[in-house]
Amino acid sequence: MRATRRTRPTTAVLAATAAAAVLLAGCTSGSSPAPGPQASTPSADGTLPVSNAAPLEPLPTGVPAALAPYYAQKLDWKTCDGEFQCAEFTVPLDYEHPGDGDITLTAARQTATPGGKRLGSLLLNPGGPGGSAVDYLEGVARTYDPQVRAAYDLVGLDPRGVGRSTPVRCLSGPRMDAYAAADITPDDQAEVDALVAVDKEFAAACKDGSGGVLAHVSTVEAARDMDVLRALLGDDRLHYLGKSYGTFLGATYAGLYPDKVGRMVLDGAMDPSLDARAGNRTQAGGFETAWAAFAKDCAGRDGCPLGSTEQEVGRRLTELFASIDAKPLPTDSGRPLTEAQATTGVIQAMYAEFLWPQLRSALTDAVAGDGTALLALSDEYYERAADGSYPNLIAANMAVNCLDLPAPFTGPEGARAAEQDFAQASPHFGRDMAWMALSCTYWSHPPTGEPHTVPAAGAAPIVVVGTTRDPATPYAWAQSLAAQLESGRLVTYDGDGHTAYGRRNTCVDGAVNRYLLGGEAPEDGTHCAK
C-alpha cells in the first residue's frame, strides 16, 4: 500500500483461501524452486537480441513491419518448478523505437489436462502492479475448476519489470526494512523531512538499480507484450483472467486490441478514469469499509481485544496506533513494530476474511505490549522472506504506478492539505494514504499515462466482478469499469475480502466458469450473495 493506488497482488491470499496446503508446500519451504530458462546473453550495447525469430509469412494483420520479428518467435518450453513449463521471449524495450533494444520476458504454463476440449490458453494475472503471474500460476493452478483446467493451458506472464521478466531493482533488504517502518503520518516538520528523504531514497535506488527498463514498465507497454505472447501461443484472441491491478492491465489490452479480446474476466476491478488522488482517497474508503465489517464482527465475539461495540473497537484502534507512534512495540525478531507497520498489518488482514482471527490475536498481543504478530502480518504484506530479503513487488509497484498516472502532489504541502479530506473518507487509514500518495512526486521518469475511460468498442463480452466490501478495489470501481466498457457485464458479489472468483462462491464461480467454458456471458447486473 506504499505506492500510489497500491493494490496488493492476490497471489498469497487466493492460494491460501483455495488451497492452504499447496501454498505452504510451494512457497514457504526452505528449498528454492528449480530455476527457469536462463536469460539471453546481452550484446555489447546491453540489448537482448530477438534470437529465436523465424521468417514471418504472412505478416500478422495490423502488426507494423518493425514488430514482425517479435511476433515470429518460437516459444521453447522447458520444464521448470516441478510440473510447469517455462519459456522466454523478447519484446522491444520501447515499442515506439523498437530498434533501441530488447528485453526478455518469462512466461510459465500448465498445459490443459487430458479429457477436455482444448479452447486455447488462459492468461492469468494476480495484480499488484508487481505481482508475479508465474508465482501465482504455480500457487493456484491446481485449485482452478477441473473443467477450466481441461479446456485451457493456464499461462502466467510476469509483466515487464516484474519477477523473472527483466525486473526493476531498488532497495536492498535492510533498506526495505527501513522503508516499511518509516513514519507515514508525520506530526512535525522533522518527520515530514524524514518521510521525504525515504521517498527520495527509494526513487534514487530504483533509478540506479534498474537501468533503461525503469522508463518502460507502463501498463500500456505490458498490454502490448501480452499481445505478442497471445500470437506466440497460437491464439487468435486473448482469453484472460485478471485480478485487482490485473483488471486494469486487461482493460488496457481491450482498449488497444478490442478485436483480439476473447473470453475476458476482470475480478476486483480498478477504475482507469480516476486520477491518483481520487484513486488513493477512494481506496482509503474501501479499507475503511472493510475495517468496519471486521470491527462489527470482532465486537460481537467474546474476547475481542478492542471492545464490545463497533465504535469502541474503532476508537481503541486509533488509540493503539497513537501509542505505537509514540513508542514502537518490541517483537521477537528484534525489529520494533512502528505505527506504519502496525497499520500495514491491519491492512493486510482486510484482504481476506480468513485472516480476521489472526488479526484479532495480533491485536490482543499488541494491546499487551507485544508487536510480534502484527509485524508478521506487515511482513506478509510486503512478502518479506525469513532471511530478510524482499521480492521486487514494491519496486515494480511503484515503477508502474508512477508511469501510469501523474503524481497527485508536487510536494509535502499537498499531502498535508489533503489529510482532512482523506480522513473523512477513512478515519483510520486516510492520513496514511494521503502521505503515501506523495511517493511518485520524486520519481526519476515523467508519467506517460493519464486518467481515461476504456470503452473497448467492438470487444466481445467482458465480465467485470466486484465485491461489495472489497478493501483494495472498492465496489464503485467495478461499477464504473463495467459501465465504461461497451460490452461490460457486471457481476456483484455481496461479501468481504479482495476479489471473488475462486473463493468457493458457487454463484460467482458458476457464472465465470460458464463463460470461460461455453462463452455464455452472465447477464449484466448478476448479483451473488455471500
pLDDT of residue 304: 97
Average per-residue pLDDT for the chain: 90
Tens digit of each residue's pLDDT (9 = 90 or more) over 323-382: 999 999 999 999 999 999 999 999 999 999 999 999 999 999 999 999 999 999 999 999
97 is catalytic: no
pLDDT in tens, 66-113: 999 999 999 999 999 999 999 999 999 999 999 999 999 999 999 999
Q: At residue 45, does pLDDT exceed 50?
A: no
Q: Which residue has the higher pLDDT, 45 or 415?
A: 415
pLDDT for position 504: 82
Q: What would the grid cell of residue 489 be?
A: 457485464
**Residue 428 annotated as catalytic:** no
Average pLDDT in the 394-415 region? 97
* Measured distance CA(358)–CA(100) in Å, rounded: 50
pLDDT at 57: 40
Query: What percentage of residues in the chain have a pLDDT greater than 70?
Result: 88
CB 118 within 8 A of CB 234: no
* Structural domain spans, the chain: 11-168+217-273+452-529, 173-211+282-385+405-442
Tell which wins on pLDDT, 6 or 421: 421
The single-letter DSSP state of residue 527 is E
Query: Which helix (H) or strand (E) is 226 found in, with range?
Result: helix 219-232
pLDDT for position 14: 44
Q: Would you state the pLDDT for residue 60? A: 61
Give Cα separations from 82 to 21, 32, 108, 149, 184 (angstroms). 16, 11, 11, 17, 41
pLDDT tens digits, 116-163:
899 999 999 999 999 999 999 999 999 999 999 999 999 999 999 999
Q: Are 182 and 340 in contact (CB under 8 A)?
A: yes
Q: In one letter, which amino acid is 66?
A: A
* For the ranges 11-15, 24-28, 34-38, the one whose mean pLDDT is highest: 11-15
**Is the model's pTM score more than 0.85?**
yes
Contacts (Cβ under 8 Å, ≥6 apart) of 181 = 335, 336, 338, 340, 341
Q: Spell out where 116-209 has E strands.
A: 120-125, 152-157
81, 227, 267, 470: the active-site residue: 470
| pLDDT number for residue 530 | 87
Pairing of strands 152-157, 526-529: unpaired
The CATH class given to the 11-168+217-273+452-529 domain equals alpha beta
pLDDT bin (cut points 50, 70, 90) of residue 61 is low
Angle between helix axes 393-404 and 189-210 (nearest 10 degrees) is 100
> Grid coordinates in use for 500?
471473488
Residue 463 has pLDDT above 80, yes or no: yes
Task: Average the pLDDT over 295-306 and give the result.
Answer: 97
100 catalytic? Reply is no
Q: Which residues touch 107 (CB under 8 Å, ≥6 apart)?
A: 75, 86, 87, 88, 89, 134, 155, 156, 157, 158, 229
The cell numbers describing 370, all together, are 507485544
From 511, 514, 509, 505, select the one nearest 524 (Cα to Cα).
511
| Active-site annotation holder among 121, 132, 218, 244 | 244
* Residue 33 predicted with pLDDT over 70: no
The set of cell numbers assigned to 111 is 498445459
Which triple of cell numbers denotes residue 85?
513449463
pLDDT higher than 80, residue 475: yes
Which sign, positive or negative, has the C-alpha torsion 364, 369, 371, 373?
Answer: negative
Per residue in 212-262, pLDDT tens? 999 999 999 999 999 999 999 999 999 999 999 999 999 999 999 999 999
Tens of pLDDT, residue by residue over 184-223, are 999 999 999 999 999 999 999 999 999 999 999 999 999 9
Q: What is the strand order of the sheet 261-267 is part of?
A: 78-80, 84-92, 102-110, 152-157, 120-125, 238-243, 261-267, 462-469, 488-496, 526-529
115: pLDDT confidence band, cut at 50, 70 and 90? confident
User: In 215-309, which ranges are E strands?
Assistant: 238-243, 261-267
Is 507:465 a contact under the CB 8 Å cutoff?
A: no
Q: List, for residues 382-396, the tens digit of each pLDDT value.
A: 999 999 999 999 999
